[in-house]
Amino acid sequence: MHPPSSPAVALDRISIVYGGPGGYEAVAPTSLAVAQGEFVAIVGPTGCGKSTLLNAAAGLLKPASGEVGILGRPLAGLNGDAGYLFQQDSLMPWKTALDNVAIGLEVAGTPRPDALARAAQWLAKVGLAAFGNRYPHQLSGGQRKRVGLAQVLIRNPKILLMDEPFGPLDAQTRLIMGNLLLELWAADRKAVLFVTHDLEEAIALADRVVIMSSGPAATIIGDHAIDLPRPRDAMEVRLDKCFHELHHGIWSQLRGEVLKAYQGTAA
Amino acid sequence: MTELSVSRPKLIALQVLVAVLLIGFWHVGSSVPIFGVYILPKFFFSTPGDVAMRIVKLFSGTMIWKHLWITLTETVLAFVIGSVAGVVFGFWFARRPLVAAVFDPYLKMANALPRVVLAPIFMLWLGLGIWSKVALGVTLVFFIVFFNVYQGVKEVSPAVLANARMLGMNERQLFRHVYWPSALSWMFSSLHTSVGFALVGAVVGEYLGSAAGLGYLIHEAEGVFDVTGVFAGMVILAAFVLLVDAVVTKVENRLLVWRPDAAGRT
């Protein structure tokens, strides 16, 4: 067993370079630790390398330098302790919602009837009990995200990595999905690394909000504790006075980076 | 695309009208002299009535069923063998880029070759029986299935693939749950084309040299200037193709329920 004190995710001075040595440096040496049970959100302007950091934590991308530690051990290959919720549609389109949720258990050796039974329970937890036999294209964007959430959580990963998971959804659906996520997270408090470009979403959900500078050679330039009480309501909390103060403080820092990134693309 | 704004009965009426006009023109041109001249001389064009009678006569005998059976057997064999080979090689090439790169020019060459020129060689090798026709069909079906499966394996969405890996799939499981269904969906989307080509291979092969099948029937009639027989054979062949195509559509809708376009078509 890993000691409870070791962080769930420890990125130690990792840098990410595309195109081999001397190529495009997307992320300059950066360190970030996520404690067990902690919900950390990474916010930054578009194209700053937020997702790149997440992919390094997932083991999908090998950093050019530095170490990735998962639960106290160095990461080699894919991160088997992590569940990853992608921004793009990543359900298998040829499987029904139920089969999509069950697959994570099936490939780990759970007999199919058991896997299907537990998948049905998970679909109910995300509010899709009646949609098990639908194919992904027959579901709305929000419903597909719910299936994706169930698909990841059914494996009971210790770490949850989320890459702008609610990005493609409309504003109302995002709020609802945020609440669903908080509710499911409160049940067993996994370590969460949540990437978003939406500062309000980040403050509403996270324990800590980390700000990244605009790329290239992006790095972490701010780390803000969010001491809003839990359990939170992702909608109601936005009306809170403390929420506004936090938002104001973080935004004044983020704004400069967003403008820099914007000028970089406009020029 | 402009929306079709005509009711179904009206559409069918219009479609029937086209057939009536065409057959009417054929009938008048071949049996009513206009200023003493037949526009469509009987010798070259036969008449719709004669062709219909010939078809009835053919189906009242037993030989036609044998011809149909032979052509169907050749088509099915060509389709199955060509598909299996296409799937195996499609997977192999897609997962082994070196193999694909080495064989690329040869594949392009083989695919560019008009397959009809192979028919005499197959007849030399395999005789006048069904296997020379099957071989011709296989060379046609193989490339369609091969290219589709190759594409299907190559074009798996990177997000779906990364997700499957993160869900803990090993190579074998990726094959079964991701690559295989993706490749199959591409293959099935070309089902109409490949079945059609299997049939083309069979009929062309028969036409060039055989003792049975629809192609043989047409060729035989042609050899004795029996135009009525040629047209009757063509009508039967067309009906046969429509029937096979209908079966393929049924199978396709069954297998591709998960596809947005397939569901929309039903």
How many contacts (CB atoms, under 8 Å) link A and B? 69
Kindly compute the dihedral angle of the four CA atoms of residues B175, B178, B180, B185, in this order, to the nearest 10 degrees.
-170
Tell me: ipTM over 0.90.
no
Stretches where chain A sits below pLDDT 70 are 1-4, 264-267
pLDDT given at position A3 = 55
Chain A residues in contact with B185 (beta carbon < 8 A)? 94
Identify the residue among A89, A107, A110, A163 best suited for mutation to test binding to B, counting B beta carbons within 10 A and taking the highest. Answer: A107
Q: What is the pLDDT of residue A155?
A: 92
Check CB contact under 8 Å for A93 and B258.
yes
What percent of chain B shows pLDDT beyond 70?
A: 97
Q: Which of B157, B160, B165, B166 to mutate to test the interface with A (most CBs of A within 10 A)?
A: B166
Q: Which residues on chain B are in Cβ contact (under 8 Å) with A95?
A: 177, 181, 258
Mean of pLDDT over chain B: 88
Question: Which sequence spans correspond to the domains of chain B?
Answer: 1-44, 46-265
Interface check for A199 against chain B (CB to CB < 8 A): the answer is no
Chain B residues with beta carbon closer than 8 angstroms to that of A96: 258
Does the beta-carbon distance from B157 to A90 stay under 8 Å? yes
Report pLDDT for B177.
Answer: 93
The per-residue pLDDT for A266 is: 56
Is pLDDT above 80 for B5?
no
The answer to whether the CB atoms of A93 and B163 lie below 8 A apart is no
What pLDDT is attached to residue A27?
86
Report the first-to-last Cα separation within chain B, whole angstroms: 19
CA distance A41 to A245: 18
Please judge whether A94 and B258 are an interchain contact, meaning their C-beta atoms are less than 8 angstroms apart. yes
In Å, what is the CA distance from A33 to each residue of A28, A78, A117, B227?
16, 18, 36, 85
Q: What is the pLDDT of residue A1?
A: 47
Q: Residues 126..165 of A with a Cβ closer than 8 Å to B: which?
A: 135-138, 151-152, 155
Say if the Cβ atoms of B159 and A88 lie within 8 Å. yes
Amino acid identity, position B93? F
Any idea which fold B46-265 has? Answer: MetI-like fold (1.10.3720)
The model's pLDDT over A242-257, given as tens digits with 9 standing for 90+, comes to 888 899 988 888 888 7
Q: Where do we find the tokens 């790329």?
A: A215
DSSP secondary structure of chain A: ---TTS-SEEEEEEEEEESSTTSEEEEEEEEEEE-TT-EEEEE--TTSSHHHHHHHHHTSS--SEEEEEETTEE--SS-TTEEEE-SS--S-TTS-HHHHHHHHHHTTT--HHHHHHHHHHHHHHTT-GGGTT--GGGS-HHHHHHHHHHHHHTT--SEEEEESTTTTS-HHHHHHHHHHHHHHHHHH--EEEEEES-HHHHHHH-SEEEEE--SSSB-EEEEEE----SS--TTGGGGSHHHHHHHHHHHHHHHHHHHHHHHHHH-
Q: Rounded to 5 degrees, what angle do the CA atoms A204, A141, A237 make?
A: 15
Q: Which residues in chain A touch residue B162, judged by CB atoms under 8 angstroms apart?
A: 60, 84, 86, 90
Residue B263 has pLDDT above 70, yes or no: no
* Contact state of B167 with A60 under an 8 Å Cβ cutoff: no
| pLDDT 10s digits, B110-151 | 888 888 888 889 999 998 889 999 999 999 999 999 999 998
